[in-house]
Amino acid sequence: QVQLVESGGDVVQPGKSLRLSCVASGFTFSSFTIHWARQAPGKGLQWVAVISSDGSYKYYTESVKGRFTVSRDNSINTVFLEMNNVRPEDTALYYCAKGGMIPQDAWHDRWGQGTLVAVSS
């Protein structure tokens, strides 16, 4: 069955860095886009970033551009989210989610359980 497992969440000070990982299984990982979304405590969902199946294109929500970088290693079925210069407003549960085979099919048909990032001094 399709499974996505996030890890790497932690308590981090403002201005520091953190790397999240998402390990996938149960589908042909190298054929699908992967998205990152986040949910602040008690709030709604915010899309964060997407990476294409081969890693050739990456897009980000405006508030993380220049600070976050998404990448993937198809040899180990893993997507990463490198978070630099984190801010208190980045505090959230971060989910990775499976997208479609083509970029326009950007609904998320499977989600991981999330990993918690707390930015605090």
The residues of the shown chain that bind another protein, judged by CB under 8 A, are: 35, 37, 44-47, 50, 59, 61-62, 95, 103-114
Q: How far is the CB of 44 from another protein (least distance, A)?
A: 5
Kindly write down the DSSP assignment for every residue of 34-64, as one continuous string: EEEEEE-TTS-EEEEEEE-TTSS-EEE-GGG
Contact (Cβ atoms closer than 8 angstroms) between residue 52 and residue 103: yes
Backbone angles phi, psi at 120, to 5 degrees: -155, 145
Q: Which is nearer to another protein, 21 or 46 (CB)?
A: 46
Q: How far is the CB of 34 from another protein (least distance, A)?
A: 13
Q: Which is nearer to another protein, 73 or 105 (CB)?
A: 105
Q: How far is the CB of 80 from another protein (least distance, A)?
A: 19
Q: Which is nearer to another protein, 47 or 74 (CB)?
A: 47
Query: Assign residue 106 a region: left if phi > 0, alpha if psi is -120 to 50, beta otherwise?
Result: alpha
